[in-house]
A and B are shown apart, each in its own frame.
Chain A
Amino acid sequence: MKKIAKILSIVLAVALVLGLAACGGKTENNGENNSENPVAAGADYSDIKFGLICLHDENSTYDNNFISAVKEVQQNLGLSDDQVLIKTNIPETEACLNAAEELVDEGCNFIFADSFGHESYILQAAQENPDVQFAHATGTHAHDAGVPNFHNAFASIYEGRYLTGVAAGLKLQEMIDSGKITADQAKVGYVGAFDYAEVKSGYTSFFLGVRSIVESATMEVVYTNSWFDIALEREAALKLINDGCVIISQHADSEGAPKACEEKGVPNVAYNINTESVAPNTALVSSRINWAPFFTLCIDSVLKGESIDADWVGTIATGSVELLGVNEKVAAEGTQAKLDEVKAQFEAGTLKVFDTSTFTVDGKTLDSYLADIDDDGTFSHETEVVSDGYFHESVYRSAPCFDIVIDGITEA
Chain B
Amino acid sequence: MNNPKEKIHEPLFHIVKRSKDALPLWKSWLIRAIAIVFSLLVCSVIIVLLTNQNPLEVFGALLKGSFGSERKFWNMLQNLAMLLCISLAITPAFKMKFWNLGAEGQVLIGSLCSMVLMFTVGDKIPNLVLILAMLAASILGGIIWGLIPAVFKAKWNTNESLFTLMMNYIAIQLVSFAIMVWVPSGSSVMGLVNSSTKAGWIPDIFGQKYLFNIIVVAALTVFMFVYLKSSKHGYEISVVGESENTAKYIGINVKKVIIRTMILSGAICGLAGFLLVAGTNHTISKDLAGGNGFTAIMVSWLAKFNPFVMVITSFLIAFLQRGAGEIATNFNLNTSIADILTGIIIFFIIGSEFFINYQIKTKAKKEDK
Q: Are B185 and A94 in contact (CB under 8 A)?
A: no
Q: Are A28 and B335 in contact (CB under 8 A)?
A: no
In the complex, what distance in Å separates the CA atom of A120 from the CA atom of B281? 11
Contacting residues, chain B, for A94 (C-beta < 8 A): 280-282
Contacting residues, chain B, for A197 (C-beta < 8 A): 185-186
Q: Which residues of chain A from 1 to 27 have a CB within 8 Å of any chain B CB? A: 14, 17-18, 20-22, 24-27
Residue on A nearest B282 in the bound complex, by CB: A94
Q: Are B334 and A57 in contact (CB under 8 A)?
A: yes
Nearest-neighbour CB distance to chain B for A20, whole angstroms, equals 7
Nearest-neighbour CB distance to chain A for B361, whole angstroms, equals 16
Q: Are A102 and B44 in contact (CB under 8 A)?
A: no
Q: Is B222 an interface residue (CB 8 A)?
A: no
Contacting residues, chain B, for A26 (C-beta < 8 A): 54
Known: A87-B329, A196-B187. A120 touches B283 (CB 8 A): yes
Fill in one digit per residue for B53-87: 1 if any A CB lies within 8 Å of its CB, else 0. 11111000000000001011001000000000000
Residue on A nearest B176 in the bound complex, by CB: A225
Contacting residues, chain B, for A196 (C-beta < 8 A): 185-188
Fill in one digit per residue for B183-197: 1 if any A CB lies within 8 Å of its CB, else 0. 111111111100100
Q: Is A101 an interface residue (CB 8 A)?
A: yes
Known: A93-B287, A379-B184. A85 touches B329 (CB 8 A): yes
Nearest-neighbour CB distance to chain A for B317, whole angstroms, equals 16
Q: Are B334 and A28 in contact (CB under 8 A)?
A: no
In the complex, what distance in Å separates the CA atom of A86 from the CA atom of B183? 30
Contacting residues, chain B, for A22 (C-beta < 8 A): 54, 56
In the complex, what distance in Å separates the CA atom of A20 from the CA atom of B325? 25
Q: Is A91 an interface residue (CB 8 A)?
A: yes
Known: A88-B335, A93-B285, A117-B285. A194 touches B188 (CB 8 A): yes
Contacting residues, chain B, for A57 (C-beta < 8 A): 334-336
Q: Is B3 an interface residue (CB 8 A)?
A: no
Q: Count contacts on B: residues with CB < 8 A to the other chain.
A: 44
Nearest-neighbour CB distance to chain B for A372, whole angstroms, equals 6
Q: Is B290 an interface residue (CB 8 A)?
A: yes
Q: Is A407 an interface residue (CB 8 A)?
A: no
Q: Are B191 and A120 in contact (CB under 8 A)?
A: yes
Q: Are A21 and B54 in contact (CB under 8 A)?
A: yes
In the complex, what distance in Å separates the CA atom of A21 from the CA atom of B56? 8
Known: A21-B55, A102-B69, A102-B71. A14 touches B41 (CB 8 A): yes
In the complex, what distance in Å separates the CA atom of A81 from the CA atom of B75? 25
Q: Are B280 and A87 in contact (CB under 8 A)?
A: no
In the complex, what distance in Å separates the CA atom of A27 from the CA atom of B54? 9
Known: A89-B325, A197-B185. A28 touches B53 (CB 8 A): yes
Partner of A92, one of B285, B329, B330, B332: B285
Q: Which residues of chain B from 23 to 48 have a CB within 8 Å of any chain A CB? A: 37, 41, 44-45, 47-48
Contacting residues, chain B, for A29 (C-beta < 8 A): 54
Q: Are B72 and A21 in contact (CB under 8 A)?
A: no
Q: Is B312 an interface residue (CB 8 A)?
A: no
Residue on B nearest A200 in the bound complex, by CB: B186
Contacting residues, chain B, for A403 (C-beta < 8 A): 185-186
Q: Are A116 and B189 in contact (CB under 8 A)?
A: yes
Contacting residues, chain B, for A24 (C-beta < 8 A): 48, 52-55
Nearest-neighbour CB distance to chain A for B120, whole angstroms, equals 13
Tell which of A26, A85, A88, A198 has the most Cβ of chain B within 10 Å: A88
Q: Are B56 and A25 in contact (CB under 8 A)?
A: yes
Residue on A nearest B339 in the bound complex, by CB: A89
Fill in one digit per residue for A114-138: 1 if any B CB lies within 8 Å of its CB, else 0. 0011011100100000000000000
Q: Which residues of chain B from 177 to 226 have a CB within 8 Å of any chain A CB? A: 183-192, 195
Contacting residues, chain A, for B186 (C-beta < 8 A): 194-197, 403
Q: Are A21 and B45 in contact (CB under 8 A)?
A: yes
Q: Which residues of chain A from 184 to 217 have a CB within 8 Å of any chain B CB? A: 194-198
Q: Is A105 an interface residue (CB 8 A)?
A: yes
Q: Is B151 an interface residue (CB 8 A)?
A: no
Known: A17-B44, A18-B44, A25-B56. A372 touches B334 (CB 8 A): no
Contact surface of B with A, Cβ cutoff 8 Å: 37, 41, 44-45, 47-48, 52-57, 69, 71-72, 75, 176, 183-192, 195, 280-283, 285, 287-288, 290, 325, 328-330, 332, 334-336
Q: List 9 A-B contacts (CB under 8 A).
A: A21-B56, A89-B335, A93-B283, A93-B285, A98-B71, A102-B75, A195-B186, A372-B185, A379-B183
The 7 nearest A-B residue pairs measured at CB: A25-B54, A120-B192, A196-B186, A117-B189, A24-B48, A120-B191, A195-B186
**Given A57-B334, A92-B283: 16 more A-B contacts, CB < 8 Å:** A17-B41, A21-B48, A24-B55, A25-B56, A57-B335, A57-B336, A59-B334, A86-B329, A88-B335, A93-B287, A94-B280, A124-B192, A194-B188, A196-B185, A196-B187, A197-B185
